[in-house]
Amino acid sequence: MSAKQEKRFITPKSQDVSQWYTDVILQAELADYSPVRGCQVYRPYGYSVWEAIKRRLNDRIIATGHENVYMPLFIPKSQLDKEAEHVEGFAPEVAWVTHGGGKELEEPLAIRPTSETTFGVMWSKWLQSYRDLPFLHNQWANVVRWEKATRPFLRTLEFLWQEGHTAHRTEDDAREETAKMLEQYRQLACDDLCMHVFAGRKSDSEKFAGAVETWGIEAMMPDGKALQSGTSHFLGQNFARAYDVKFLETDNTEHYAWTTSWGVSHRIMGGMLMTHGDDKGLILPPRVAPIHIVIVPIHRDDDRQLVVEKAHGLAAALREQVRWRDEKVEVKVDDREGLRPGFKFADWELRGVPLRIELGPRDIEAGTCVLAERLGGSKSNLQVDFATFSLDAQSIAEALEQLQAGLYAKSRESAESRVYTVASYDEFKQVVGQGRGFVLAPWDEEAATEARVKEETGATTRVMHPDLPGDDVKCLFSGAKARRLAYFATSY
Amino acid sequence: MSAKQEKRFITPKSQDVSQWYTDVILQAELADYSPVRGCQVYRPYGYSVWEAIKRRLNDRIIATGHENVYMPLFIPKSQLDKEAEHVEGFAPEVAWVTHGGGKELEEPLAIRPTSETTFGVMWSKWLQSYRDLPFLHNQWANVVRWEKATRPFLRTLEFLWQEGHTAHRTEDDAREETAKMLEQYRQLACDDLCMHVFAGRKSDSEKFAGAVETWGIEAMMPDGKALQSGTSHFLGQNFARAYDVKFLETDNTEHYAWTTSWGVSHRIMGGMLMTHGDDKGLILPPRVAPIHIVIVPIHRDDDRQLVVEKAHGLAAALREQVRWRDEKVEVKVDDREGLRPGFKFADWELRGVPLRIELGPRDIEAGTCVLAERLGGSKSNLQVDFATFSLDAQSIAEALEQLQAGLYAKSRESAESRVYTVASYDEFKQVVGQGRGFVLAPWDEEAATEARVKEETGATTRVMHPDLPGDDVKCLFSGAKARRLAYFATSY
């Protein structure tokens, strides 16, 4: 963290979300540009937020019975080429290693854009009988996709993610897994990251290269655009056939396994950051905040020692006494010298720390301190006995709970109020063109219709609504019979 | 974990350590070969051991004041070229990306073999004043070095590691950091992994490309060879000059920072695995064992339900009641059907689980069960009230403590008893040639002497002994005045 007390300027969020996002990412020292085009540097504070998100998601993945593994970074070209749709989809985005050990390689190696290929090859080696199934694997890894336009967290050449890969005995088992992980992603977004999402199946033209079905969660950003925040793919037997992943059934007949894959990347962190902040900076959901409470001592030179000492005592007491959702809280004392309290307040507001405690000499005498919360900015008094450090731990837990719930309520209300149903294609164009939000529209499920809408408006289908349109409902675009209700939006 | 009750054969460790190592790695399902030469696949059990080691080391890195970051996988050729010694040392091992996004790149990108370069570039951007220092960064990452001969964990093209990078205001601060992290590595090896190591400075010819001094920890493998298990580099101002990492002092003069780097890879896991096991398989130190206790229910068909139920009850009680070094223990019930208890015993012995509990119907009646420990194979009775599951939790903690201490004592005694001092170069050749261990020999500190010994015997200097030779001691090889006492050995 920089100790410089310099003037900062953040573009107001209401004025330009996109510029606000870049300003905040850089000035809160979450990430920085790197010497390599399109690759970002995670600075300590940004990486600690990612580690917190990773921990929440990893807990969900392990609790649902999966095991972590790690597969190689490289994929030989001949292996990647085996699943035709898959390679066609990824070929334009692949980075190739052609030289190693001072020589040109006999076969180029792809840097993994995703690892279905390698899991397929290994499973084919490991799988023999139905008794070996299911394989429930996950890996945390870096992957590379050669993107043109990039933005920190939202789209980068190299990105950090988890990719789950599972193989099952039956189609039903694989479909159930696909749905189960989509629901885990939905809960991660809503319950941990306080970011409301729309979950559903993606259209055929929007699905993963090689999948039978792709399901996804889509978040609505403040500018009305959609951010794909996680996907769960039912791969049928496509990859099993390509990589010869088969097993013997009880009756000794040979069958291909049914496989799935699912992934969430650091992109979901970008979505979370963009969803919550305000003109002062970030607001981090307590469930993934690396620091829950910052204590700012306020003092003159002559009472500095006392106030800083009591601030550290209070921090220790909070760590010891407060339990929120059965976990301890992280507390930081900002005892940097030579900086005004006002500067420190702004600095931690910029970084989105959920709660701030202000502590001065008169507070210590009076047995109280000021507790300020980041979302609404409200302040209250917290009673503390500064001799014994007994305090009302429950009120801190309640403040965190309230902030977590409040952030999600705000996100949900904002997203749901901006889903439009429209009477005409003209109205559709207005909503989409003005960045007002998503349009839920009846669609004939034809790829040609989807392509025309994309060309004419920039909007694509994001996910299907779980309900089907009524029998006599017509497609908003073609006038033909509507087969789906789809969320349309322009997207990141 | 495979459910197959097939015949396994592990080469006895006493007969052929090298083959034993490969057999155990594959059959305990720690790792497997991958479709890419020299890259390994981490299977679930192997990855969980690595995650445990990573957690211990990460705790040490954070506790000593460092922050985790993440830098890009790629390094542009022009950046890597800036530190002459560094690039000369690494050039033969670099993998190059030459194509991306369907085009040949204007500048090839190296896959990081290590990241001094990128940290240098970023620090140069972030560093302004002495107030910004120190930078205390660490990253967990995959790196690639184009090795010819490879072995799981010990030497692989892609490997997982942490690399610490720090920048300081003064030379003393940087030297202190170098020593501090070497000591953390020594403690990790000895206290957590129970693997005795020799710590010291490396000779100039064995140091890191671009370093002023390299310090390392060296373990002695059962075949007498040395395994470099961690290094800590004092880089002086070499990288700061190459990447323009400078700052303003209080008097407004500009100075280059003093930097360090230090790394431990999955190689230390390979060393730990090779150090401890026996003819039955692995023995994992409790501090890094993913499973501390396995419970094997022993039953006939008609009492299966009762025994398995009590086994799970006992597992829950152990998780709840046992605390070893302030942490909970991981307990697994092996209730796989259709496998004999004897097979299960052997299976978990192969995987090196520290403690096994055997539980049958008569044990339940008698309020007892058998506790077997992996290192010495001793068995004792554990009293358990199978109605309330009250049990002697302390005795489990003691068994774990004893195993942790016992493993280290064994490793230390084995390593220390195989350090030889010899009277002649002939005797040196015998010790080294027969794989008996390390030789601690007086050396004139000439690179030419070192090179000749290497050529004639295959042995290199591993680290320097902290003591200096007496004034009249001669170099064992040249007869010139000895300047150092060095540990010599052949190495992995």
Total structural domains within chain B: 3
pLDDT tens-digit profile of B46-78?
999 999 999 999 999 999 999 999 999 999 999
pLDDT-above-70 percentage for chain A: 99
Contact check, Cβ <8 Å, A93/B71: no
Count CA atoms closer than 13 A to A272's CA, side-chain side: 30
The mean predicted confidence, pLDDT, of chain B is: 95
**DSSP letters along B248-313, please?**
E-TTS-EEE-EEEEEEEETHHHHHHHHHH-BTTB----GGG-S-SEEEEE---GGGHHHHHHHHHH
Query: Which of B376, B402, B428 represents a domain boundary (last residue)?
Result: B402
The mean predicted confidence, pLDDT, of chain A is: 95
Does any domain span residue B339? yes
**Residues B352-368 as b or e (16 or more Cβ within 10 Å = b):** bbbbbbbbbbebbeeeb
Contact check, Cβ <8 Å, B75/A35: yes
Does any domain span residue B12? no
pLDDT score of A6? 58
Q: pLDDT-based confidence at A149, cuts 50/70/90?
A: confident
The angle that helices A17-27 and A267-276 make with each other, rounded to 10 degrees, is 110
Query: Does the complex come out with an ipTM higher than 0.90?
Result: yes
DSSP code at position A31: E
Is residue A361 located within the same domain as residue A430?
no
**DSSP letters along B387-453, please?**
TTTEE-HHHHHHHHHHHHHHHHHHHHHHHHTTEE--SSHHHHHHHHHTT--EEEEEE---HHHHHHH
DSSP code at position A474: B
pLDDT score of B144? 97
Residue identified by tokens 């030379």 is B171
- CATH number, position B471: 3.30.110.30
User: Which residue on chain A is closest to B100 by alpha carbon?
Assistant: A95
pLDDT-above-90 percentage for chain B: 93
* Identity at B122, one-letter amino acid code: M
Does any domain span residue A192? yes
Task: Find chain A residues with C-beta within 8 A of B250's C-beta.
Answer: none
Q: pLDDT-based confidence at B3, cuts 50/70/90?
A: very low
pLDDT score of B262? 98
pLDDT score of B477? 97
Is residue B365 located within the same domain as residue B311?
yes
pLDDT score of B4? 53
Task: Find chain B residues with C-beta within 8 A of A79's C-beta.
Answer: 35
CA distance B2 to B5: 9
pLDDT score of B87? 85
- CATH number, position A299: 3.40.50.800
Task: Find chain A residues with C-beta within 8 A of B99's C-beta.
Answer: 95-96, 98, 108
Tally Cβ neighbours within 10 Å of residue A131: 15
Does any domain span residue B301? yes
- Tell me if residue B485 falls in helix, strand or coil: strand
A134 upstream amide cis, omega within 30 of 0: yes
Is residue B188 located within the same domain as residue B309?
no
Is residue B343 located within the same domain as residue B197?
no
Using the predicted structure, report yes or no on whether residue B149 has a pLDDT greater than 90. no
Tally Cβ neighbours within 10 Å of residue A287: 23
**DSSP letters along B28-84, please?**
TTSEEE-SSTT-EEE-HHHHHHHHHHHHHHHHHHHHTT-EE-B--SEEEHHHHTTSH
Is residue A223 located within the same domain as residue A253?
yes
Here the contacts of A52-56 (C-beta below 8 Å, separation 24 or greater) are A52/A287, A52/A288, A52/A289, A52/A290, A53/A188, A53/A192, A53/A193, A53/A268, A53/A269, A53/A272, A53/A288, A54/A140, A54/A162, A56/A188, A56/A192, A56/A287, A56/A288
State both tokens at B269. Answer: 């896991």
Using the predicted structure, report yes or no on whether residue B154 has a pLDDT greater than 90. yes
Contact check, Cβ <8 Å, A96/B101: no
Is residue A396 located within the same domain as residue A262?
no
CA distance B269 to A220: 45
pLDDT-above-90 percentage for chain A: 93
Task: Find chain B residues with C-beta within 8 A of A169's C-beta.
Answer: none
Does any domain span residue A386? yes
pLDDT score of B9? 85
Residue identified by tokens 């990105």 is A159
User: Which residue on chain A is closest to B145 by alpha carbon?
Assistant: A101
Does any domain span residue B467? yes
**Residues B448-460 as b or e (16 or more Cβ within 10 Å = b):** ebbeebeeebebb
Task: Confirm if A43 and A34 have CB atoms less than 8 A apart.
Answer: no
Is residue B208 located within the same domain as residue B266?
yes
pLDDT tens-digit profile of A391-401?
999 999 999 99
Task: Confirm if B282 and B273 have CB atoms less than 8 A apart.
Answer: yes
Does any domain span residue A1? no
Using the predicted structure, report yes or no on whether residue B400 has a pLDDT greater than 90. yes
Backbone angles phi, psi at B4, to 5 degrees: -85, 130
pLDDT tens-digit profile of B375-397?
999 999 999 999 999 999 999 99
- Mean pLDDT within A18-37: 95
* Identity at B242, one-letter amino acid code: A
- Mean pLDDT within A205-212: 94
- CATH number, position B69: 3.30.930.10
Strand partners, B215: B201, B232
Pairing outcome for strands A74-76 and A103-111: antiparallel
Q: Could you tell me the CA-to-CA distances from A316 to A134, A164, A319, A467 in Å, in that order?
A: 46, 39, 5, 52
Using the predicted structure, report yes or no on whether residue A480 has a pLDDT greater than 90. yes
Residue among A65, A156, A136, A74 nearest A109 (CA): A74
Task: Find chain B residues with C-beta within 8 A of A39's C-beta.
Answer: 72-74
Is residue A180 located within the same domain as residue A41?
yes
CA distance B23 to B268: 18
pLDDT score of B220? 98
Using the predicted structure, report yes or no on whether residue A3 has a pLDDT greater than 60. no
pLDDT tens-digit profile of A45-90?
999 999 999 999 999 999 999 999 999 999 999 999 988 888 888 8
Is residue B338 located within the same domain as residue B270?
no
- Mean pLDDT within A332-360: 96
Range of the domain at B460: 419-489
Is residue A150 located within the same domain as residue A238?
yes
CA distance A231 to A331: 35
pLDDT tens-digit profile of B405-434?
999 999 999 999 999 999 999 999 999 999
- Determine the distance in angstroms separating the CA of B5 from the nearest CA of chain A, rounded to an integer: 12
In this structure, the dihedral spanned by the alpha carbons of residues B376, B380, B385 and B387, taken in order and rounded to 10 degrees, is 60
Task: Confirm if A378 and A359 have CB atoms less than 8 A apart.
Answer: no
CA distance A210 to A233: 9
Q: Could you tell me the end-to-end alpha-carbon distance of chain A, in angstroms, rounded to an integer?
A: 30
Q: pLDDT-based confidence at B6, cuts 50/70/90?
A: low
Task: Confirm if A175 and A214 have CB atoms less than 8 A apart.
Answer: no
Is residue B144 located within the same domain as residue B43?
yes
Is residue A272 located within the same domain as residue A298?
no
Query: Which of A276, A303, A336 represents a domain boundary (last residue)?
Result: A276
Does any domain span residue B246? yes
Q: Which of B29, B48, B97, B148 to mutate to test the interface with A (most CBs of A within 10 A)?
A: B97
- Mean pLDDT within A143-161: 94
Contact check, Cβ <8 Å, B3/A158: no
Query: Which of B234, B257, B276 represents a domain boundary (last residue)?
Result: B276
pLDDT score of A142? 98
- Determine the distance in angstroms separating the CA of A390 from the nearest CA of chain B, rounded to an integer: 25
